[in-house]
Amino acid sequence: MFFYPNAANVGDPGVVITGTIKNEYDRDYYICIAAHAFNSEGEQIGHSIDPCPVCGMIAPYVKCGQTGNFELHLKYREDIERIELFVGCVSEIPPP
């Protein structure tokens, strides 16, 4: 396993993103979600630091027609201007 260089240490300030996602597909899926942080110039300056299933991503399991809650974490930086969420995959099997 590897970790990103901007990983947070105990006591570092952070950003917690919570949300709800709905599975409108006809099957149950793992939905891979990540967050990216950008500065005022549009440069990516950070990303989610969650460790599983792949560093920087989470994959909640959401049943067909249901909703699921999620929580992502980023290391805080004063120059964060916006945060974008990305769905990287939808899979019937858990991501590695």
Sequence ranges of the domains in the chain: 14-91
Q: How far apart are CA 94 and CA 54, in angstroms?
A: 11
* Beta pairing, strands 61-62 & 44-47: unpaired
Task: Judge whether residue 61 has pLDDT over 90.
Answer: yes
Which residues make beta-bridge pairs with 96? none
Q: Is 57 exposed, middle or buried (0-12, 13-18, 19+ CB in 10 A)?
A: buried
Q: What is the pLDDT of residues 7-45, one digit of tens each?
A: 677 788 999 999 999 999 999 999 999 999 999 999 999
The whole-model pTM stands at 0.83
Q: How far apart are CA 41 and CA 50, in angstroms?
A: 25
Residues 6+ apart with CB under 8 A from 89: 30, 31, 32, 95
Contact 48, 57 (CB under 8 A): yes
Class of the domain covering 14-91: mainly beta
